[in-house]
Amino acid sequence: MNFIFDVGNVLVTYKPLQFLERMYPDKKLAERLYKVIFLSNEWQLMDQGLCTFKEATEAFCKCEPDMASAIRKIMQNVFDIFLPISEVIELLPELKTRGHGLYYLSNIQHEIRDYLLEKNEFFELFDGGVFSCDVRIVKPSLGIYHRLLDEYHLIPEECIFFDDIMVNVEAASSVGIKGVLFTGIESAKPYFGM
């Protein structure tokens, strides 16, 4: 069996609003910054590989000039959002030893991709994967699932995909992959045979 993992909130944490609330105790300010940055069109464009961190930062600052210094500080520290989820990472070597294929499939930006690959040795356990920024397709578009299957010659029925967003799980299911909503390690263990 091949196990395919989303990255954010499956392999590493991704809780931007909590991150902002730690930086800025003023909840209204944190929520405003969250909307400006993480719910922006530019954030989506970065996931698609169509916009750089620098371009996005300038766009955020232009949109909200009164918050420019806060925006720049956030973008400089945004990598701190992504921490390994140890309960999952600890199981990867055993899955690999059992002969399972390990792949990742994630909507992510070039800069964050580079940071995660450099800082997290567990990615060396993976047989491969697809990052949205590299193929300019984002989940839940079916093309990104087909790209992974085609690139690694995977049979959909021999794959299980874990994602924390239901629409992405449903998209995987629609191409023949077993999609599982990831809500924590206990939601995945039965599929690992644990």
In tens, the pLDDT along 6-46 reads: 999 999 999 999 999 999 999 999 999 999 999 999 999 99
Question: Residue 52 contacts by C-beta under 8 Å, 6 or more apart in sequence?
Answer: 46, 110, 111
Residue 156's Cβ-side half-sphere holds a number of Cα atoms within 13 Å equal to 13
Q: What number does CATH give the domain 2-13+82-192?
A: 3.40.50.1000
Q: How far is CA 111 from the centre of its chain?
A: 13
Long-range contacts of 76-79 (CB under 8 A, 24+ apart): 77/23, 78/16, 78/19, 78/112, 79/112, 79/115
Quick: pLDDT tens for 116-159: 999 999 999 999 999 999 999 999 999 999 999 999 999 999 99
Residue 116's Cβ-side half-sphere holds a number of Cα atoms within 13 Å equal to 23
